[in-house]
Amino acid sequence: MEWETVIGLEVHAQLKTKSKIFSGAATQFGADPNTQACAIDLGFPGVLPVLNSEVVHMAIKFGLGIHAEIAEKSVFARKNYFYPDLPKGYQISQYELPVVGKGHLDMQLEDGSTKRIRITRAHLEEDAGKSLHEDFQGLSGIDLNRAGTPLLEIVSEPDMRSAKEAVAYLKALHTLVRYLDICDGNMQEGSFRCDANVSVRQKGQEKYGTRTELKNINSFRFVERAINYEIERQIALLESGGAITQETRLYDSAKNETRAMRSKEEANDYRYFPDPDLLPLVITADMVNAVRQHLPELPQQKRDRFVQEYGLSIYDATILVSDSTMAHYYETTTKTADGHAKLAANWIISELLGALNKANLDIETSPISATQLGTLVKRIADNTISGKIAKTVFEALWKQEGEVDHIIERHGLKQVTDNSAIEKLVDEIIAAHPQHVADYRTGKEKLFGFFVGQVMKASGGKLNPQQLNEVLKKKLS
Amino acid sequence: MHYKSLTEWSRELNNHAISSAELTQLFLKRIQQFDKTLNSFVTVTTEQALVAAKAADQQRALGKAGPLTGIPIAQKDIFCTDGVKTSCGSKMLDNFIAPYNATVVQRLQAAGTVLLGKTNMDEFAMGSSNENSFYGPVHNPWQHDYVPGGSSGGSAAAVAACLTPAATGTDTGGSIRQPAALCGITGLKPTYGRVSRYGMVAFASSLDQGGPMAKSAEDVALLLNAMAGFDPCDSTSVDQPVPDYTATLNHPLRGMRIGLPKEYFSDGLDARIATAIELAIQEYKKQGATLQEISLPHTTLSIPAYYVIAPAECSSNLARYDGVRYGYRCEHPQDLADLYKRSRSESFGNEVKRRIMIGTYALSAGYYDAYYLKAQKIRRLICNDFARAFAQVDMILCPTTPSPAFKLGEKTSDPVSMYLSDIYTIAVNLAGLPGISLPVGFVDSLPIGMQLIGNYFDEARLLNAAHSYQKVTDWHTRIPEGY
């Protein structure tokens, strides 16, 4: 039997505001428990919420970023349920009328093709606090610092057909919110969280299968693993004659499995109704236009421009625009390198990113600045150093040994382009290996590489490879 | 001398005929003397009051006194008062010391008033008789075995018995106007959004509105001057300029068009109240107002709509009382469910529980459209009724309640008949309009009230009309025997 997977994602992006969505308390991560919670966050008697206008601004930005309808009037609703880390006994969210309506996001698949994922809606809501079940001798601790932190919940249509697609969509969304500067995207700290609705159906079948909702997947890697685990579990269950229960399942990354949390039968009736403490949120065309005017270049626009302007492949361009800081780094590098755009891209993608990854750093904390790397590329392009020597310079830059030209100077890394100097070295090597020379001349042409290596080694790698080839060929013939 | 009105006291203070310290002591003494019988206060803030009175006198000595500087007042125990117990009449909040001031408290404090204490009320403002208080019922000072009305019964009784010149109240379905009527004082429910709800413990957020209660319309106008106005902490407060409500009190009524809603003068109305209202109507005619019958056809639907919307909002507003962060917590909870269940069931009274259950039901999946949504539609119809009426008239006149105060215990076993005592006041809350109740006579030695209803933000007109009536009558100056 052939199965098809259907996936929809619900993403909670924590909005990057200084204060909470309905109070003036700070939103900074990592403060001592309950030090960033005011009477409003604690749900004291008599307190009232007042909407943080910055949150609305960010929601509009997001709406524009996914080409969505932005509601002229949206409504905050109360989602009622009891839990100790939910101080008011209800969460202020949006239900029937969300601030952002239907939109879409295009994502790049590994084979280079593009797929459009439809976004159903995005709505504003407040986060709950945290329950801490360890360290309290059988009791639970409650930290309400996070209570009232602004969230944008982004709900996709069930348009993804594999775990890989889900990850690609999630990455595209992650890139977008960071470009828009509305979310720091930190998945470890929970600023960008994802729940996945997963179901399977037989190929060709139109009706969706019963879905399960996976929670607690806090990295791109876990999203892929959790979904793949769940797909296999569902298929195995169906093939053995079982049925899927609609339920919420928790992903355990340590065991790489999903476990049932609660089924639909025990699901809460949230008794949504419009929050009478808040007026409907009205967004005028003027407000939208004001935001539109200051909208940054979005990832896809930037990618297309990189392809056009710099002649990059879509694949390379996609990597470079996946992070706005990296895109900026790339453009600075290219500019410093007098426009040697492809070479700059190669150095960033194959050398810099590899080194950063190995050292567990990112582009923002890179020890090599964009102008340094740009200068390095420039020196390769103008034949001051060879590509091979450039790697030595790169390593020196990484160790913060100074600027490119100084390093080249100090270590005498300048490429030798003087023909007589090259000839001299070649003559020495030929003299030292008479047998090899004889073998070569009788047809063992493979030995040519041996001579190149020897001469290069003797020169400390500083010869221009093309020049060396010419001289060697002449001398050996 | 204790029977003077707030306005009179203000004058006396201004003339240095009395100091705020003396005035405060006078009322503290009266509270001590009479409140054992009345039970109108939950907390008396003696020490703070004396300190505040002294400060007020100093302000006056510096020439910085306003009309309310040094005037003692009482706050309904629903307004959060920094450092003072704010119980809301509930066992749930019996141990709750508010950590901040409600905007109303802060504004009245800034105006120089002296807080005498916090007044008794129906638990979480749910009730029409003040019998639903954890601290026991309040007695009507006119006849002690009668209710003072509710939920602001403590405030009404305290003002009527001259234990304070004025008090604050809150009105969700009549909770200022009904007790004002039943205790023979003047009470105003402002337009929804006129007075900040910040720090006022919520019962039904879309209906709750705080307002002043005192002897006369003049007093109420002075208090409203201090209480009204936009508050950035309350998203539903309205950013509209606040006029000086005392400035227009004496405007002539000539040409004022007053509507008499026929539905408010029907079968359920006590004939003796009808007669008293008729006399008041004659008085208004004498002053040059024109009167005409109008219709508010959806009046009968207001009680059913109210008893869906108010409980629905209450069921959600009261969810925060879970025994986790403040308030009552049951002893030795076994687990989380047990903590919730017992903390709430051991500390909420029956009426509160009844409304939480009704509201939870009304909001539940499958019932929401039939109850909550339908009630909201009725609410719209009621608003339209008033909008049509105000196209024809400037003000609406009617009784505040269909009957005078009833006996303590008389309606406690019949909640629906209790609910019906708010029949003339509830629609005003559903529409968000301002309404004032003022004394209009007596029935069986119990005071009765007349209600004036205005268009949005037309409090000045209501106060003008009420004051014009009070200039030629003395109902509002009567003091219950023994006080």
Per-residue pLDDT reduced to its tens digit, B180-221: 999 999 999 999 999 999 999 999 999 999 999 999 999 999
Contact yes or no for B322/B340 (Cβ under 8 A): yes
Indicate if B175 belongs to the active site.
yes
Same domain, A263 and A183: yes
Alpha carbons A374 and A390: distance in angstroms, whole number:
12
The mean per-residue pLDDT over the stretch B151-164 comes to 98
Rounded mean pLDDT, B106-132: 98
**How many distinct structural domains can be found in chain A?**
3
Domain boundary among A290, A325, A343: A290
pLDDT at A230: 96
Which residues of chain A are within 8 Å of residue B80 when distances are taken between CB atoms? 44-46
Which residues in B have their CB inside 8 Å of a CB on A? 79-80, 86, 88, 93, 96, 98-100, 102, 197-202, 204-206, 232-236, 312-313, 315-316, 318-320, 322, 324-326, 336, 340, 360, 363-365, 368, 372
Give A142's contacts in chain B (Cβ within 8 Å).
324
Residues of chain B with pLDDT > 70, as a percent, come to 100
Are residues A144 and A48 part of one domain?
yes
Same domain, A263 and A378: no
Q: Are residues A336 and A424 in the same domain?
A: no
ipTM: 0.96
Per-residue pLDDT of chain A in tens (477 residues, 90 and over written 9): 799 999 999 999 999 999 999 999 999 888 899 999 999 999 999 999 999 999 999 999 999 999 999 999 999 999 999 999 999 999 999 999 999 999 999 988 878 788 999 999 999 999 999 988 887 888 889 999 999 999 999 999 999 999 999 999 999 999 999 999 999 999 989 999 999 999 999 999 999 999 999 987 889 999 999 999 999 999 999 999 999 999 999 998 889 888 988 665 566 799 999 999 999 999 999 999 999 999 999 999 999 999 999 999 988 998 999 999 999 999 999 999 999 999 999 999 999 999 999 999 989 999 999 999 999 999 999 888 888 889 999 999 999 999 999 999 888 788 777 788 888 888 888 888 888 888 888 888 888 888 888 888 888 778 888 888 888 888 887
Do A100 and A184 lie in one domain? The reply is yes
Task: Summarize the confidence of residues B432-452 as an average pLDDT.
Answer: 98
Among A366, A389, A410, residue at a domain's last position: A410
Catalytic option among B90, B129, B151, B155: B151
Which site among B316, B332, B345 would you substitute to test the A interface, given the most A Cβ atoms closer than 10 Å to its Cβ? Answer: B316
Half-sphere exposure of A340 (CA within 13 A, CB side): 19
Residue A137: what pLDDT? Answer: 82
Mark out chain A residues that contact chain B at CB-CB < 8 A: 39, 42-51, 78, 80, 82, 84, 87-90, 142, 269, 271-273, 276-279
Q: Name the average pLDDT for chain B.
A: 97
* From A46, A80, A272, residue closest to B80, measured CB to CB: A46
B76 is catalytic: yes
Give me the catalytic one of B10, B76, B133, B411: B76
Chain A residue with CA closest to B312: the answer is: A273
Per-residue model confidence (pLDDT) at position A263: 64
Q: Which range marks the domain in which residue A35 is found?
A: 3-290
Q: What is the pLDDT of residue B309?
A: 98
State the Cα–Cα distance between residues B305 and B300, nearest whole angstrom.
9
A185 in the same domain as A274: yes
Q: Which residues contact A477 (CB under 8 A, 6 or more apart)?
A: none
Q: Which helix (H) or strand (E) segment is B448 a member of?
A: strand B446-454
pLDDT at B75 over 60: yes
CB environment A277-304: b (16+ within 10 A), e (fewer): bbeebebeeebbeebeeeeeebbbebbe
pLDDT value of residue A267: 64
Phi, psi of B399 (to 5 degrees): -70, 155
Asked whether residue A72 falls in the same domain as residue A143, the answer is yes
Residues A73 and A175 in one domain: yes
Statement to judge: residues A260 and A335 lie in one domain: no
DSSP letter at B191?
P
Instruction: Tell me whether residues B102 and A46 touch, CB distance under 8 A.
Output: yes
pLDDT at position B401: 96
- Domain-ending residue, one of A410, A428, A444: A410
Nearest residue to A379 (alpha-carbon basis) of A414, A418, A351, A353 = A414
- Minimum-distance CB partner of B364 among A47, A271, A276: A271
Kindly determine whether residue B365 and residue A51, on different chains, have CB atoms separated by under 8 Å.
no
Q: Considering the domain B6-256+393-477, what is its CATH architecture?
A: Alpha-Beta Complex (3.90)
Asked if residues A69 and A104 have their Cβ atoms less than 8 Å apart, the reply is: no
Rounded Cα gap, residues B50 and B138, in angstroms: 25
Alpha-carbon dihedral angle through residues A120, A125, A129, A130, given to the nearest 10 degrees? 10
The answer to whether residues A153 and A234 belong to one domain is: yes
Amino acid A264: pLDDT: 58
Distances (CA, A) of B5 to B1, B20, B161, B222, B478: 10, 15, 12, 12, 11
Closest CA to B335 of B323, B317, B352: B323
Domain segments of chain B: what residues?
6-256+393-477, 301-376
Residues A212 and A80 grouped into a single domain: yes
By three-state DSSP, how is residue A458 classified? helix
B87 is catalytic: no
Q: How far is A47 from chain B (nearest CA, A)?
A: 5
Within this chain, do residues A376 and A431 fall inside the same structural domain, yes or no? Answer: no
Query: How many whole angstroms separate alpha carbon B86 and alpha carbon B326?
Result: 12
pLDDT value of position B23: 98
Nearest CA-CA distance, residue B78 and chain A, Å: 8
Kindly state the average pLDDT of the residues B151-171. 98
For residue B413, pLDDT over 90 is answered with no
